Each structure stands twice: as structure tokens, then as C-alpha cells.
Chains A and B, each alone.
Chain A
């Protein structure tokens, strides 16, 4: 399978600051690939390096096998959906969408027809005559999408396109985008800081931290087998145990991660042979509807979370009270060994 985009040891420095630090990725043709991380982690810079708005300080970037470093954006078969949509205010929606075709010299009737088609694909067929300022945020986002897709790029870049939308709309757009990608079969490269968004839409996710990639994997593997403490705590929530405690429970000084929902509060029964346990003071109980979260302060001062599903449809008296001494237990195999911090 051809590689849509390949980064080899790419770095981008702004003065002394390394926004991107020796990053290497292989993005497959036709996959929905997300770049996830907190702000300033380098994910947006990487996207801009693919688009051509930035040039790397070092390393090579190949797009469908061709070296892209030094090529201007208009020379790359790549299109971008911008975070602020970047719709041209002085043109109407149809002209905006047809722009990419216009600058390539496509004739007027053909490009307007193809623009109409693209608008239809995002369910905005009758909006061609409006100006961007007359549209809502969600509508503008879809126009930006149509404007990029009408050029039939082989790679589509999306820079946190759903950030400005409210929750319901965002979820709707997430499933629409995923459907669209499957339908078109082109490579989508999606940048976001929202881990649940990345997990739900992508074939694979790269987790960025401080200019480096900590892990690239499928959503499931990222969640179940995080590679580093950062990934464990950024993707979902986790208890990361280090040092002496890790040694004690796992037999190795390397950190381990145990998800709150894989643990339970001990009921007083004897400890199973394949289980391990920690104890401490229960200092907070958070009722979250489908589950309840228990916050325990361990002997070494660390906070430990237990998340239990509220399976009972009958209301029982709470089994534990705040301020009690409790124990959390989990299966040995549920622990995931992590690399040291990078």
C-alpha cells in the first residue's frame, strides 16, 4: 500500500524553540489519521508542514512518494480545511467553492457545476448565492469542506475544524466526516486536542507531546496499551503508579498504568491470587450517572481513582462513606507497563 504522507526525522524550530522535534510518521493511503495532543505539542505545525505553509528546518517529507520540501502549497495535491474556515468574504458561497478550480483555469460553467455538486455533498445545495457572513458556524465549516473537496485532492488536511461548534453539532459532524471519508476513500489527516473525538473517528492516532510523537496506534490499542505515562493520562484518565509502588505491585521500577474502570473497591473478601491491591483514605465520591468515581488518597500521598459502573437499578445505601479507609483491587494482567517519560 502506498504511503500518502511520510515524515522522516522532521524538525521545525522557531529560534530556540523546537516546535517539531525529529518526528517520523507513515500515513497510509486512504486512512483516517488523527494527530492528537495538547496545544503547543506540534501537531498543528506538522499539519502545516504537510500543507506547505511552513518549511522544516530538517528532515524529509514525502507526499505520495514525491519529496515536498521546498514546494509551495499550490504545487501540492493536498487541500486544507482551516480552523477559522478562511472563507473569502468578498465572494459568495458558490464562488468560494469554485475558487480552486478557477485558479487552475477550469471554465466557468464547468467549475460552477462542480461547485454545486460539492455543495450538494455537504447538504448545502441551495446556499450557493449567500455570502459567508450570512452563514452559521456549522454551515461555514461545511462550505470550507466542500471548497477543499471539489479539487479532488488525494489528501485532505483538517485543522481542528470542529472546535468552534457546540457539542451536538460537533458529534453530528464527526459521524458525517467519517462517513464522507469512507465514501471518498481519500486520506484524511485530522488535528485535534479532543481525545474522544480522535478516538471515535480515526483508523490510527498519533499522540503528540512537546514536539515529539509518543505513540502511534489504533484507538483501541492507545487506550488499552498506552506506551508512556503521558499517553495513559491524556487518552482517557488513568492511574499511573511509579517508583516503589510500581516495584511492589508489578515487580519492575518502570511506571504502570491502571484504568479506573478496571479497578473495584474491595468488599472485605480475601485477596485473589491474580489480584493486587492498594489502600488509603476515601476522600471524594463523585456520582456520574452511569458510574461512580471514588477518589482515594494513598499512603504515599498520590491520588488513586476507582470507577465503578452503577449496575443496580435499585437504589441501595451507599456501600462506603467518605472518610473511610478503603482498598482498591484489580487483576494483575490489567496493568500496562509503560516506558519512562520521554
Chain B
């Protein structure tokens, strides 16, 4: 008897404990889902909560750590002095205007007056300087930092003039893309003093954006609420960002109302959503998928081989069909949607497997032992193809591999979790890299990957003509001349087949009719902002 009572009590206790543990959240969940449902029914009750579904979430909220700053900005928490406009131009944000002196080193920013941090403190030019100094201090390699902002710009002095309302930065080297540098997410303006007492791993720093972070459950969700001190209207009282790792699940979240806005949905589901009346905004931004050739491999160092390689691949089908529209096809390393002369470039390595095979035969790569694969110096050519299963790059790799197979070139795919290691150490024959070509709004520094001796030139390409033009371009302030140099650089890469571009990544956002004014900014830095508001 006693045994049974003990057993039953224990079981009951276990079940009760489990239910009560989730019971407290059930009310929340019920309320939240009712909100979503009423919003999609467009009832008279005004929508006060925005629900966002995204695949990725940073594990910390520290702008100085790696690329976590992107997320703090995306959540609508942090703002910079300058913003990447939706049309690709630089827009004022926390700075009303800016200018550079004739010495090409002294930049002056006019700070927007009347801005307060989310704790009520005024954002003065002094505070701006403190924020930037904090960033550079934390990321300084001498302090054990990762040195990421320093790679774009270093300054010899930074001063604030509170009365005139300006901040002056004197750069070490001429930096033509300074506005873009300042617009980079990690340059967001934080209240350095107040943030000292915050654990930026689990909470966000004090910033100026429309929303502040209420809670951060790593890998699950982030809850935000309205910043009472924001200098403009804030449309929502609360914002919930949910991490939903699978694209198909994000689609489902839109369909059942759990999410109003979903970031990055796979192309196959986008069509379905569009047909069902959801809003889909696709933009081919500045992100590309490039295949680099390792020039230390003698076969890849042969230009004939590389041109044949390009001819063997049906780039259009790969981009449009295989990745199902995740990429927009293009052969220049700078995305065609930006004005860098795509139409002026000459390209004749289009899909032509016959020509490819002839080129390979003529170059001496033939299959003598009948196993279907060409050899070089008596050994089968085997290319180690390093790829990360991200943004459909593994699909591209498989498609490329299959097509190389048809012209007799063997490639072996190696799926890795962290690409950077392999990329920077040159541990590959060919590698797919997803690169943001214009982090600072201008693709100039992107070309350092082919400049002899540059730190991020891992492929080993070296061309004195390229170097000469690159060196001129990198310090050129005149945008017309700069554009010209960039066009020339692109052409050299095409002529030399120095790398292969697989296409331009189409980022997208999908949203229900419950919200409006959603813009898919090509920079990928902004998800939640002050503009997204409930539909009337």
C-alpha cells in the first residue's frame, strides 16, 4: 500500500512540476498567439507587437565581438552616424552631415542634436567619441582583440567639440570609403560609461535605437520594447525576435501567424508565399559567392585550365535552377545591380562544355587510362573543393562538381563548418566563399583578395598590372575615377579567370499583410527599424 502511494505521489509530482514549469509561460503564449491571430484578421485592435522569425542569432550582444554588432543593429537597438540607404547611397543618421578636408585625412561629422540614449543621457559629441574609442580599445590586437575595425580604418586623432556639435576624426591613411566605414554596424554609438556595468554577453549595450532589449535567451528568442527616449516615433510597443533555424519552419511561422516578418526564406517557399498573398521582397545585395582558385596548384595556375573550368559550368542554370533563385546569375565579381560597369565588361567564358573539353585537350590534360578523368603529369587531376553548407554554397559546389565531372575533371567536396580557417591558410584547391563585397558601401577593399602580398590574398594570384591599378584605386577620392579603376580590375579578373563568380546572393524578407513599410535593405544590416509599422 505504502509503496503504491509513494509511486503515485512521485509520478503526480513529476507531472505537476513539468506542467507548472511551463504553465507560467502558457498564458504568455496564449496571449501572444491571440495577438498574432487578431492582427492577421486586421481587427480594430491596433497591433502593438511585432513578431520576427530569423535563422541566425548572435551569441553575444557586444558590438566589439566579431560580427555580433550586425545583430545588435538588426534588432533596432544600435544606430551609427551614417546609414546605408536603401538605394545604395550613404544617408545621414546620427550625423546630419559630414565632410572631408583637402588633406584627405580630416573628417568632420555634424552630430544630430537632441538625441538621447535609452537611459535618458544626452548623446553629445563627447559621448560619440567615447563610444568609438571604446570600440577601438576593445578590438585592439594589442589588448587581445580581433582587430577587425582596424583593418578598415585607423585614426591618429579623434576629438569632440560639444559646442559646435561636431566630431573630428583624422585618419592615418586616405580612406575614401570613410562614410561606409562609419556606417559599419560595430561603429554604433553606445553610452560607453553606462555600458561598463552591463554584461554585454547577455544584455545589449545602452544605445540610441528605437528598441531596447528586455530579455535575451540565447538561441531561442529576444524580447525588445520601445525606447522611451527615442527621437522619433516608435511604431510598436514590443518586438519579439524568434530564432527558427529552418527556412521551412519560418515559412510555417508566417503561415500560422506566429511571425509577421521572416528573414531569408528559401526560394522554393517564396513562390508559394507570394501566390498565397504574402509580401516578398527580394534584393540582390552586395553579397557574392566566389570560387577561388589556389594558384599554388600547378594545374590551377594554368590560365587555359581556368578558362576551361569556367566554360564547363552552366552558371545560369546553377544560379536560377539549382539554388532555386537564391542567387542571381552574374560573371563579374562585383554585383551587377550596383553601378560598376557590368554591361561594359567583356566575358566569353559562358557555358560551352565542348569548347572546354577542347581547351583541356589542347592544354595537354588528357585521360590516358580511361577512367574518365584527365591527368596532369601522369596523375589524375583531383581538386579539393572546400565548401561550407551555408547560403546554398554546398548546392553550388555539388552542381559544379557534377559539371566538371562531365568534362573529365575530378573534384572532391569537403564540407567544413568554419570556412575562414581554410580560406586564409590556403587549405584548398578550389573554395566557395560568401563575401560581402561592399561592407562599407564601396567594393574597393574587396579587391585586395587579388592584390599581390595582401593579407587576405589567399589564392596566390599575382599580376603587376592588377596591383598597379589597385594601388591607385584604393586612395582615389574621385568617385568617377574610382569607378573606372574598379571596372578595369573586374575586367582583368575576367580575362585572367583569376576567380569564378557564381552569382549574387538574393537576400529577402517576407511579411504578412499585418505590417507595412518593410524594406529589404541590400546591406543586410537592418532588419527592425523605426519604419516598420502596423498596417492600417
Query: Are A and B bound to each other?
Result: no
B residues within 8 Å of A by Cβ? Answer: none
Instruction: State the A residues within 8 Å of B (CB).
Output: none
